């Protein structure tokens, strides 16, 4: 009985194989479209990013690093070869600056060229203590390019990360 069942199974497979039609996909020449809801590589919109580093804190694969290169520049480094496409970085971003794309093809000749994403974010330095405290507004970005704008001193006093007050001794020296 077991032999007959095995023969019947093999006969069904042989009949299916004789049917005309494509058995395999034309991959990689015609890549398959990802399913709806598929998460691929994360992409950062540097115009929206505030540089908070929340994405680096929640990444389970530890593939996101936040590096302050100087007082005005913060770099987000995404090591895409370690990314598991979990989407936690996009979930915790308070300004929705990270988007999960449908791009999942990571094969390349140079592993350091395409698999490391660096996003440079210009941060606004505090005028009192000099530390980075937030991404600048559109007005601050214009000032950075050399356009003249009036300063609003109260903004810096309110948002100073070091808590330096306008009347303190640190500002006078």
Q: Are the CB atoms for 96 and 48 separated by under 8 Å?
A: yes
Q: Residue 37 domain-assigned?
A: no
Q: Residue 55 domain-assigned?
A: yes
Q: Which residue has the higher pLDDT, 147 or 103?
A: 103
Q: Which of 109, 118, 98 is nearest to 54 (CA)?
A: 98
Residue-range definition of the domain harbouring residue 52: 42-163
Check residue 51 and give its pLDDT: 84
List, in order, residues 6 or more apart from 125 with CB less than 8 Å away: 71, 72, 131, 132, 133
- Torsion, Cα 123 168 149 139, to 10 degrees, reads 30
Region of 121 please: left (phi>0), alpha (psi -120 to 50) or beta.
beta
6-55: pLDDT as tens digits: 888 888 888 887 877 766 767 777 777 778 888 888 989 988 888 888 99
Domains held by the chain: number: 1
Instruction: Please state, in angstroms and as integers, the Cα–Cα distance from residue 40 to each residue in 23, 100, 101, 103, 137, following that order.
Output: 27, 6, 5, 5, 30
Check residue 62 and give its pLDDT: 93
Q: Which of 11, 17, 13 is nearest to 3 (CA)?
A: 11
Q: Residue 14 domain-assigned?
A: no
Read off the DSSP letter of residue 60: T
Q: Are the CB atoms for 41 and 104 separated by under 8 Å?
A: yes
Measured CA to CA, the distance from residue 87 to residue 24 in angstroms comes to 31
Q: Residue 91 domain-assigned?
A: yes
Q: Residue 26 domain-assigned?
A: no
CATH of the domain at 84: 3.30.70
77-125: pLDDT as tens digits: 988 888 899 999 999 998 899 999 988 777 777 766 667 888 888 877 7
Q: Are the CB atoms for 117 and 77 separated by under 8 Å?
A: yes
Q: Residue 8 domain-assigned?
A: no
Residue 172 pLDDT class (50, 70, 90 cuts): very low
Measured CA to CA, the distance from residue 14 to residue 10 in angstroms comes to 6
The whole-model pTM stands at 0.58
Give, in degrees to the nearest 5, the angle at Cα 94 between 122 and 45: 45
Q: Residue 12 domain-assigned?
A: no
Residues 159-164, mean pLDDT to the nearest whole number: 51
Instruction: Please state, in angstroms and as integers, the Cα–Cα distance from residue 129 to each residue in 14, 59, 172, following that order.
Output: 78, 31, 11
Q: Residue 147 domain-assigned?
A: yes
């Amino acid at each position: 009985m077991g032999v007959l069942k095995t023969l019947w199974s093999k006969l069904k497979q042989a009949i299916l194989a004789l049917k005309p039609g494509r058995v395999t996909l034309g991959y990689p020449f015609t890549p398959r479209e990802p399913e709806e809801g598929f998460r691929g590589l994360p992409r950062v919109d540097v115009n929206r990013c505030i540089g908070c580093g929340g994405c680096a804190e929640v990444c389970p694969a530890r593939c996101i690093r936040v590096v302050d290169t100087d007082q005005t520049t913060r770099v987000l480094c995404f090591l895409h070869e370690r990314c598991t496409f979990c989407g936690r970085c996009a979930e915790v971003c308070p300004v929705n600056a990270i988007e999960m794309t449908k791009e999942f093809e990571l094969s390349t000749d140079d592993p350091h060229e395409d698999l490391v994403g660096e996003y440079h974010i210009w941060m606004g330095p505090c005028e009192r203590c000099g530390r980075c405290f937030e991404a600048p507004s559109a007005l601050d970005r214009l000032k950075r390019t050399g356009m003249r704008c009036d300063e609003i001193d109260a903004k810096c006093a309110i948002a100073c990360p070091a808590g330096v007050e306008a009347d303190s001794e640190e500002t006078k020296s």
